[in-house]
């Protein structure tokens, strides 16, 4: 199995949706990414938690092949995030972000991770994303996520990071804010001009668009009948994408298109429960079954014009 190095938040999330509420559930960008990507690859995680964190909450990920040698436990409070979703689950409001031990974190990538081919820089301070990348010898493919908090608070560092990555995965509001441009195609080009060949723009339940060089590919969102909590769907999407690429061990344009569908499939599973529980119980077959439904959902026969 290929392995993927991921850095990101390991968090305690308090989330309210129209369908329920949880307090201090396991969350974080690295957690959701790992829960999804570990269906297809071994994961090497870099992050930090505080002394208040119950490490046994990560046991299910360890059983799935996530290596926690790069997770530091430091005296202090863990990262905490609180958010609320109104009836439109595509828009959420952050109530609070408490960085806790992440504020002074200086990541050390374990020697056993440094030869990583596949790297995912999960949503976290761009300075930490740089610091991790500095310690990886010669990564083959680097994907990266971010959010408004860092676009507003660490723009310079983030723009520099674009020059070091192959794929940026963000949502529509984020890329508009980053590029200062409403039109997604123009915004994606703005990003591509600064480094990454590939840009994925996630549009919540409405799917995701891949911009690769000059080409555009679109995958719909999976029409779930019941959604509990979209938190982590974006990270699970990235986990599905990068996990799939590592699994097939290719990153050409054809595989990237397929990877977007795997991302959409994993993103949809993430919404089926509060926290990463649903992702934790998935196996490869569940994912392939859902991907087959995507194919069915988007298949149509082209009609030749009359007289052709």
Cβ proximity to ligand AMP, 117 vs 191, nearer residue = 191
Cβ proximity to ligand AMP, 117 vs 145, nearer residue = 145
Residue among 204, 198, 211, 258 at smallest CA distance from 236: 204
Whole-number Å distance between alpha carbons of 103 and 148: 17
Our finding on whether 233 is near ligand AMP (CB under 6 A) is: yes
Our finding on whether 231 is near ligand AMP (CB under 6 A) is: yes
Our finding on whether 172 is near ligand AMP (CB under 6 A) is: no
Contact predicate 226/220, CB 8 Å: no
CB of residue 243 to ligand AMP, shortest distance in Å: 15
Our finding on whether 235 is near ligand AMP (CB under 6 A) is: yes
* Binding span for ligand AMP by CB under 6 A among 162-170, 174-182, 226-234, 281-289: 226-234
Our finding on whether 67 is near ligand AMP (CB under 6 A) is: no
Our finding on whether 167 is near ligand AMP (CB under 6 A) is: no
Q: Cα–Cα distances in Å, from 210 out to 169, 174, 218, 261? A: 9, 15, 6, 10
- Phi, psi at residue 142, to the nearest 5°? -120, 120
E strand intervals along the chain: 3-7, 11-17, 20-27, 42-50, 66-74, 79-85, 92-98, 118-121, 141-145, 167-171, 198-202, 208-212, 215-219
Cβ proximity to ligand AMP, 232 vs 240, nearer residue = 232
165 token code pair: 């990555």
Among 4, 11, 46, 287, binds ligand AMP (CB under 6 A): 11
Among 60, 149, 190, 218, binds ligand AMP (CB under 6 A): 149
Binding mask 88-107 for ligand AMP (x = CB under 6 A): ---------x----------
Q: Cα–Cα distances in Å, from 103 out to 27, 47, 108? A: 17, 12, 15
Binding residues for ligand AMP, rule: CB under 6 A, are 9, 11, 13, 27-29, 32, 81, 97, 123-124, 147, 149, 231-235
């Amino acid at each position: 199995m290929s392995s993927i190095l991921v850095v990101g938040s390991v968090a305690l999330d308090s989330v309210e949706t129209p369908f329920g509420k949880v307090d201090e559930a396991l969350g974080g960008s690295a957690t959701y990414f790992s829960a999804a990507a570990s269906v297809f690859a071994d994961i090497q995680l870099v992050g930090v938690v505080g002394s208040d964190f119950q490490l046994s909450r990560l046991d299910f990920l360890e059983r799935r092949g996530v290596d926690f040698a790069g997770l530091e436990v430091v005296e202090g409070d863990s990262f905490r995030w609180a958010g609320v979703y109104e009836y439109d689950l595509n828009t959420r409001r952050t109530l609070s972000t408490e960085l806790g031990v992440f504020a002074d974190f200086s990541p050390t990538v374990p020697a056993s991770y440094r030869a990583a081919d596949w790297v995912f820089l999960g949503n976290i301070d761009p300075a930490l994303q740089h610091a991790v990348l500095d310690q990886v010898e010669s990564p083959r493919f680097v994907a990266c996520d971010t959010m408004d908090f860092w676009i507003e608070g660490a723009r310079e560092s983030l723009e520099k990071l674009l020059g070091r990555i192959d794929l940026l995965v963000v949502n529509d509001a984020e890329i508009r804010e980053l590029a200062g441009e409403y039109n997604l195609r123009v915004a994606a080009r703005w990003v591509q001009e600064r480094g990454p060949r590939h840009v994925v723009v996630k549009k919540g339940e409405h799917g995701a668009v891949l911009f690769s060089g000059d080409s555009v590919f679109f995958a719909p969102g999976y029409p779930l009948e019941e959604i509990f909590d979209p938190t982590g769907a974006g990270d699970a999407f990235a986990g599905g994408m990068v996990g799939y690429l590592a699994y097939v061990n290719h990153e050409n344009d054809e595989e990237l298109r397929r990877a977007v569908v795997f991302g959409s499939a994993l993103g949809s599973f993430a919404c089926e429960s509060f926290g990463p529980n649903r992702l934790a119980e998935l196996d490869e077959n569940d994912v392939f079954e859902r991907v087959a439904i995507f194919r069915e959902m988007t298949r149509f026969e082209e009609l030749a014009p009359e007289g052709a």
